[in-house]
Amino acid sequence: MTTEPKIALKGVEKAFGSNEVLRGVDLAVDKGSSLVVIGGSGTGKSVLLKCILGIVAPDAGEILIDGKRLKNREDFLSHFGMLFQGAALFDSLPVWHNVAFRLRQGKGKLGKKDAQELAIEKLRRVGLKPEVAFQFPAELSGGMQKRVGLARAIASEPSVIFFDEPTTGLDPIMAGVINELIREIVVDLGATAITITHDMSSVRAIADHVAMLHAGKVRWHGAVADIDASGDAYVDQFINGRAEGPIESVR
Amino acid sequence: MLAINYITEALASIGRSTLALFASIGRIVTFAISALSHMLRAPFYPRELAVQLLRIGYFSLPVVGLTTLFTGGALALQIYAGGARFNAESVVPSIVAIGMVRELGPVLAGLMVAGRVGASIAAEIGTMKVTEQIDALTTLSTNPIKYLVVPRILAATIAMPFLVLIGNIIGILGGFLVGTLRLDFNAAAYINNTVDFMEAGDVTSGLIKAAVFGFIVALMGTYSGFTSGRGAQGVGQATTNAVVSASILILASNYLLTELLFSA
């Protein structure tokens, strides 16, 4: 018996004017597994995530969640969390309100005190002290902002989490800490995760499976354990960071 | 042949600009309709509305007050000097009041708020767009139009008439101060003249204009922010667009509203 993938993309295409970013992407992510999408800058990794989220409408192809086309995006988003590249925290709100933002909306919204308690608990989960809850994002370092972003992404215990370049701009130690946290959280929540990154240490720490996007298509897709022996010259060049190879260094 | 090429190219350029203009108008109208439709549907964000009322209304008071105070004073001097040519100096109080309430109060407040608030809204939302905060709102099950646009448009539309009302009083006060201290008008006579010649319609027409101008300022600010390009340059351009487009629309709609309200 085959199980339906949690997220499946079939022939997804997207162009911005004459720039064809996605040229027929086929991809499947099993429930509870962690897929990392790698690829050079400008290969459409972020566009791919935005297509799944419905922020960008694909020109062709279909995106299936639990085997069905997404009819109600609100339903999907209510079980979804995302860590953005720059954390994307709301400057005008204190950290606790950022973390508990979703839980302060709608009919069953949390009161201020409960929201603060929940935010403090989530902040502790990502290694931040309770005092941070009452600071504003501008008062935090880049690493702390990423952790707050992570706390916000997991606040509602989502079943699907996306991580967009989670370690960009962080020092190697902080990057390692964030990678470990992501792995722990994904395993603890049993969530389905998609991460996009250039950072190979992130790939090895976070991924169950890896997909490489190149020229608007999935060039290679396999288990993370197989990536060093993929036999694909593009993948080899990318994971070893070589200037020489089939991928043009100037795009 | 060369001349024909130049003419064709010039016509094509005019055509492209015209098409781009109509496309922009279409996008702004669509954006406005979307914002208006979201005003009628839950969820609502009363806290955001209160914050924006404070930012747009209360914090614009000093700018509007100072602008109308000096304009009222200058208007009194101008009308006195002009009126002296045909012995009509006594019209200063009534013309200052009517001019301020019908025209200068709403227009000057609109332009000042466009500069202060429109620019700030465009910069704030533009920065939120560039730093993916708007995408983050979407992923947190919050509609950015409802959360960011509706409270700002509502707040500006509600706050502007109050701002203009206060601005009118301060502007008339400016005229009063210049009239009594500089032009030797009797204080009681000045006040009587002001009150006697002003009608309720003068005030309400100014307040209607103010509400429309408030709507325009917030609409153009939010629209420019939402359509901001990337980086500091994109946000800077969005800010400029917000102020310039709101100012032009305020002046154009002022003419149309004046035609509509006073043509009879």
pLDDT in tens, B149-164: 999 999 999 999 999 9
CA B4, B8, B9, B14 dihedral sign is positive
Same domain, A6 and A27: yes
SS3 B254: helix
Per-residue pLDDT, A188 = 87
Residue at A84 is within a domain: no
* Pairing mode of beta strands A80-83, A7-16: unpaired
B120 contact residues in A (CB cutoff 8 A): none
Q: Which amino acid is at B71?
A: T
Q: pLDDT grade, residue B264 (50/70/90)?
A: low
Name the closest residue on chain A to residue B136, using Cα atoms: A88
Please give the tally of structural domains in chain A.
2
Residue at A131 is within a domain: yes
Same domain, A207 and A144: no
Per run of 10 residues, the mean pLDDT along chain A (length 251 residues) is 82 91 92 92 87 89 88 83 92 94 84 93 90 95 91 91 88 86 87 91 92 92 91 89 76 49
CA nearest to A192, candidates A94, A27, A117, A81: A81
* Pairing mode of beta strands A7-16, A160-164: unpaired
Per-residue pLDDT, A172 = 86
* A65 to chain B, closest Cα gap in Å: 16
* A127 to chain B, closest Cα gap in Å: 22
Same domain, A23 and A8: yes
Same domain, A59 and A180: yes
Same domain, A125 and A63: no
Same domain, A137 and A205: no
What CATH code is carried by the domain that includes residue A197?
3.40.50.300
Tell me whether residues A82 and B136 touch, CB distance under 8 A: yes
Name the closest residue on chain A to residue B143, using Cα atoms: A74
Same domain, A65 and A102: no
A93 contact residues in B (CB cutoff 8 A): none
* A193 to chain B, closest Cα gap in Å: 15
Per-residue pLDDT, A2 = 61
b/e burial code for range A18-50 (CB count within 10 A of at least 16 → b) = eeebbeebebbbbeebbbbbbbbeebbbbbbbb
Task: Report the predicted TM-score, pTM, of the whole model to 2 decimal places.
Answer: 0.87
Same domain, A53 and A171: yes
Same domain, A208 and A177: yes
Same domain, A102 and A180: no
State the residue range of the domain holding A146: 89-157
Same domain, A50 and A164: yes
Last residue of a domain, one of A157, A182, A200: A157
A50 contact residues in B (CB cutoff 8 A): 135
Same domain, A251 and A163: yes
Report residue B41 as tokens.
């549907």
Mean pLDDT of B178-190: 93
B138 contact residues in A (CB cutoff 8 A): 53, 55, 77
Q: pLDDT grade, residue B2 (50/70/90)?
A: confident
Last residue of a domain, one of A157, A182, A212: A157
Per-residue pLDDT, A171 = 83
A55 contact residues in B (CB cutoff 8 A): 135, 138
Residue at A102 is within a domain: yes
- Any chain B CB within 8 A of the CB of A106? yes
Nearest neighbour of A82 by CB, restricted to B131, B133, B139? B139
For chain B, which residues lie within 8 Å of any Cβ of chain A, measuring from their own Cβ? 43, 128, 131-133, 135-136, 138-142
A78 contact residues in B (CB cutoff 8 A): 141
Last residue of a domain, one of A157, A173, A190: A157
